[in-house]
Amino acid sequence: MPIATINPATNETLKNFSDLTSSEIDSKIDLSRRTFLSYRNTTFDERGARLLKVADLLERRKDELARTIVLEMGKPLQSAVDEVVKCASACRFYATEAKSLLARRKIETRATESYVIHQPLGPILAIMPWNFPFWQAFRAIAPALMAGNTMLLKHASNVPQSALAIESVILEAGFAKGVLQTLLVNSKQVSRIIESEHVKGVTLTGSEKAGSEVAALASKLIKPCVLELGGSDPFVVMPSADLKKAVEMAIRSRTISNGQSCIAAKRFIVHVRIAEEFTRLFADGMKALVIGDPLKPETQIGPLATTSILEELEGQVTRTLQQGAKLVTGGKRAKPAGLNGNFYEPTVITNIDRKSPLHEEEVFGPVAAVFVVKDFEEAMTVANDTRFGLGSSIWTQDPTEQNRAIQELEAGQVFVNAIVASDPHLPFGGIKNSGFGRELGTPGIVAFVNQKTVWIQ
């Protein structure tokens, strides 16, 4: 895939970039290594002051940076602004909390003194996706830099200007040149970077295939790895739920980033007593969403990021309908006036065979699959009948159902009467084919440190 900014609303190529050569990659890795030798000795206060400046810069430049996001991957402008602002919140959290999160932990043993200290590992490679080009990167960058590591950012090939803008903000905030470097490289060059003796760990957000390949190589080289992969999140609605609120949040969750989010609700599992009304309200709400130019404030649904994503989504819908599913609304490409981009209508489908793509695969686009169940037990069975385990949500006012769902849903996070979202304070990640390890919270900052035990007799 070429490294280029291609406006997904028009399919116009705005700017092309050249891949780094092997020698350029080696030079950047070496700079990261040399910078780490001094950067690891900076204090939490020094790192925190710079990261707080990053937060200020992100908020000050949010409109400019959001426009870059929109032109590269197509999400609505306000959503992009919100994403940049959220990055500032993560920077502030780690800038102020890192010292306590990584403080020396005294542990009583038979030693005269015993404790655990946390030390950075070195250059960390971050392989990041395009769907949240700033947030996905900063939730890895902020804890890694506060822990004293340096970072190499290999971003998705369709968001190079976002990647370069991130590096620009880091440098403008006063971090040394080698603390964070963007590597404009294609996927074929990634293994060579991981294999460098100077790269000490890898964090990846992306597809199952990419995660499997990176994990295999990192494991072979005995390097720590964090993976946040795909999701097919269940959204369970029981009879006691606030139906109006559940429908409103179902629409919001399914259309986050134009439906291109790992933690977007994708499978809507609804009790038979309320299924007809839920589906009608849900379909009406999806159909009413405004599709168009993502730079216009009234637009609620922009284009999919690439033509290949659009074609894959079309294929998933077609195959699911061929297997007997019922189309309630949508189901085809959208053509907003004056735009020749990757638009797809918000879509609701029911009567879905559990061996069809909309049940078995991750669906990246504004397409919702509705499943009707007879009781709570069947709801849990359908919810867990997936190889993914990233997020999940349940909508019910029944405390027993809430507690059972918390225990029984097979996912890295369970949200009760709320949609799945990431928060800097809380661990984020999945189980099963959704990956391993955790970002954010305390796990996010200890993922790439040496938790060194000290015993003094």
Beta strand 413-416 with 391-395 is: parallel
pLDDT of residue 354: 87
Q: Which CATH superfamily is domain 233-416 in?
A: Aldehyde Dehydrogenase; Chain A, domain 2 (3.40.309.10)
pLDDT in tens, the chain (457 residues): 799 999 999 999 999 999 999 999 999 999 999 999 999 999 999 999 999 999 999 999 999 999 999 999 999 999 999 999 999 999 999 999 999 999 999 999 999 999 999 999 999 999 999 999 999 999 999 999 999 999 999 999 999 999 999 999 999 999 999 999 999 999 999 999 999 999 999 999 999 999 999 999 999 999 999 999 999 999 999 999 999 999 999 999 999 999 999 999 999 999 999 999 999 999 999 999 999 999 999 999 999 999 999 999 999 999 999 999 999 999 999 999 999 999 999 999 999 998 999 999 999 999 999 999 999 999 999 999 999 999 999 999 999 999 999 999 999 999 999 999 999 999 999 999 999 999 999 999 999 999 999 999 9
Provide φ and ψ at 150, rounded to 5°: -100, 165
**Are 430 and 412 in contact, with CB atoms under 8 Å apart?**
yes
CB contact at 8 A, 89 and 432: no
What is the CA angle 269-244-299, rounded to 5? 90
* Residue 208 annotated in active site: no
Please report, in angstroms and rounded to a whole number, the separation of the first and last CA atoms in the chain.
58
pTM of the model: 0.97
pLDDT of residue 1: 76
Give me the helix-helix angle, 243-254 and 272-287, nearest 10°. 50
Length in residues, the chain = 457
Q: Is 228 an annotated catalytic residue?
A: yes
**Measured distance CA(412)–CA(435) in Å, rounded:** 10
What whole-number distance in Å separates Cα of residue 250 and Cα of residue 418?
10
**Residue type, position 380, single letter:** M
Q: Catalytic pick from 228, 362, 401, 410? A: 228
d(CA 340, CA 266): 27
Q: Which of 83, 262, 345, 361 is catalytic?
A: 262
Q: How far apart are CA 116 and CA 152, in angstroms?
A: 28
Chain segment 262-320, per-residue pLDDT in tens:
999 999 999 999 999 999 999 999 999 999 999 999 999 999 999 999 999 999 999 99
Which residues are within 8 A (CB) of 18 and not within 5 positions of it... i.e. 6 or more apart?
3, 184
Instruction: List the one residue out of 88, 80, 82 whose CA is nearest residue 173.
Output: 88
Amino acid of residue 386: T
Torsion, CA 333, CA 158, CA 203, CA 136, rounded to 10: -70
Total Cβ atoms within 10 A of residue 391 = 31
Phi/psi for 226 (5° steps) reads -120, 130
Q: Are 450 and 423 contacting, i.e. CB atoms less than 8 angstroms apart?
A: no
- Taking alpha carbons only, the member of 138, 154, 229 closest to residue 196 is 154
Cα separation, 280 vs 351, whole angstroms: 14
CA distances to 77, 83, 165 from 5, in Å: 17, 19, 13
CB distance 411 to 432 below 8 Å:
no
Locate the domains of the chain by residue range.
4-229+434-456, 233-416
Q: What is the CA radius of gyration of the chain?
A: 23
CATH for 4-229+434-456 is 3.40.605.10
DSSP H helices, 116-159, are 135-147
